[in-house]
Structure 1
């Protein structure tokens, strides 16, 4: 394995770690914001609560969109950073 390939693998591993970390942080922020706005945590897949369909759809859409955006931005940022090294 040459030096270029090993740098690429390291960049992918670091990028994956940063993306996962960003997704966790965004998830925590969403949970806190949802709780501040509604008084309870957003509905989860395994909840047996009485959340309505609109609330479930809103929580899923918001969470999915923001987590996906954070992962993309983290991955791109990491790729730019490792390219400079």
Structure 2
């Protein structure tokens, strides 16, 4: 069974990833609008959306969201280590 530190870290990491993703989606959407002059595709799978636009949106969103999640989780891990004095269990490197 997981201890309280493990559960606490999972909650903190999940919240950080969610917040990072939320901010990233807003930022990526705004950058898309500014660079293309139009709204991003709401349904890239639709045949009405140009293939180039659908692929571009998928790549930018995929990479952007993953980078945001990674950065948010790493920042949360740093704060967790400062607050608890030890690294989160899942991020410990095996020796």
TM-score by length of 2: 0.75
Aligned to 1:57: 55
Deviations 1:20-78 (A, max 9, x none): 11111111111111111222111122785842101100100000101001101111221
- Structure 2 regions of 5+ residues with no counterpart? 84-95
Moved segments of 4+, more than 4 Å:
46-49
What are structure 1's unaligned runs of at least 5 residues? none
TM-score, normalised by the number of residues in structure 1:
0.83
CA drift at 1:15: 1.2
Give the root-mean-square deviation of aligned CA atoms.
2.2
Q: Which has the higher helix share?
A: 1
